[in-house]
Amino acid sequence: MDSSLSLSVITATLNERGNVSQFVDRVKKVVGKWPHEIIVVDDNSSDGTIELLEKISLSNPNVRIIVNSQREGLLKSNLRGLKESRGGIKIVMDADLQHPPEMIGNIVSSLERGQDFAVMSRFVHGSQIYNRNPYREYATSLAISLCHRIVPQTRKFKDPISGFFAINANIKVPYEKLYDLFGNQRGYKILVPIIANNVKKKIVELPYYFGNRCWGVSKIGMENLLIPRYLTELSQYHNLFKESVS
The CATH number of the domain holding residue 100 is 3.90.550.10
Q: What is the pTM of this model?
A: 0.93
Q: Is it the case that residue 220 has pLDDT exceeding 70?
A: no
Please answer whether residues 163 and 194 qualify as being in contact, where contact means their C-beta atoms are separated by less than 8 angstroms: no
User: Does 183 fall in a domain?
Assistant: yes
Mean pLDDT of 42-70: 96
Residue 154 maps to a domain? yes
Does the residue 34 lie in any domain?
Answer: yes
pLDDT above 70: residue 219? no
Tens-digit pLDDT profile for residues 175-202 = 999 999 998 888 999 999 999 999 999 9
DSSP string, 87-115: -SEEEE--SSSSS-GGGHHHHHHHHHTT-
69 in a structural domain: yes
Domain that holds residue 93: 7-244
Q: What angle do CA 12, 163, 17 make, to 5 degrees?
A: 35
pLDDT at 1: 44
Sign (positive or negative) of CA dihedral 108, 102, 7, 188: positive
Q: Is 21 part of any domain?
A: yes
Do 12 and 67 meet the contact criterion of CB atoms below 8 Å apart? no
Residue 37 pLDDT: 97
Residue range 31-50: average pLDDT?
96
Instruction: Examine residue 1 and state whether it is found in any structural domain, yes or no.
Output: no
How far is C-alpha 14 from the geometric centre of its chain's CA atoms?
14
Confidence band (pLDDT; 50, 70, 90) for 216? low
Residue 2: inside a domain: no
The closest alpha carbon to 104, from 115, 116, 93, 88, belongs to 93
Number of structural domains (the chain) is 1
For residue 134, the model assigns a pLDDT of 84
